[in-house]
Amino acid sequence: MKENMLIAIPSNDGIHVEEHFGHCRRFILVKIHDGKVMSRLSVNPPQHAPGVFPAFLASEGADVIITGGMGGRAVNLFKEQGIDVILGAAGKVDDNLNTFLEGELESSGSVCTHEHA
């Protein structure tokens, strides 16, 4: 894990991980320094369209996105922006964040296989 990083987590209510990042109403951006949370900010993303969220989160400085699922194309777009993708997250944002900081959150590889609009 990097010493300083910005983690993006999609959410609709600010409490739970939105299991499909393309449907989120906001991203929780968590700034980490030396393994500790330094700040937490909720930001509204631009309107969803293919490629928009990866570019938006890259412009915000995100290093990692923790989400439920996304299509393979989206995974590649995030990786092209230098953003690591962790798939398969569910439940509370804080629980997933803590598990990630403990080095225990691993991507389950739950890439969506249905068509995205």
Per residue in 33-48, pLDDT tens?
999 999 999 999 999 8
For residues 69 and 48, give the distance between their C-alpha atoms in angstroms, rounded to a whole number: 15
Q: Which helix (H) or strand (E) holds 17?
A: none
Question: What's domain 4-106's superfamily in CATH?
Answer: Dinitrogenase iron-molybdenum cofactor biosynthesis domain (3.30.420.130)
pLDDT at res. 117: 43
Structure tokens at 18: 């939105």
Per residue in 56-86, pLDDT tens?
999 999 999 999 988 889 999 999 999 999 9
For residues 39 and 37, give the distance between their C-alpha atoms in angstroms, rounded to a whole number: 6
Domain limits, the chain: 4-106
For residues 25 and 45, give the distance between their C-alpha atoms in angstroms, rounded to a whole number: 7
Over 60: is that where the pLDDT of 115 sits? no
Residue type present at position 96:
N
Phi and psi for 25 in degrees, rounded to 5? Answer: -95, -20
Over 50: is that where the pLDDT of 114 sits? no
What angle, rounded to 10 degrees, do the helices at 72-80 and 52-60 form?
30
Confidence (pTM): 0.90
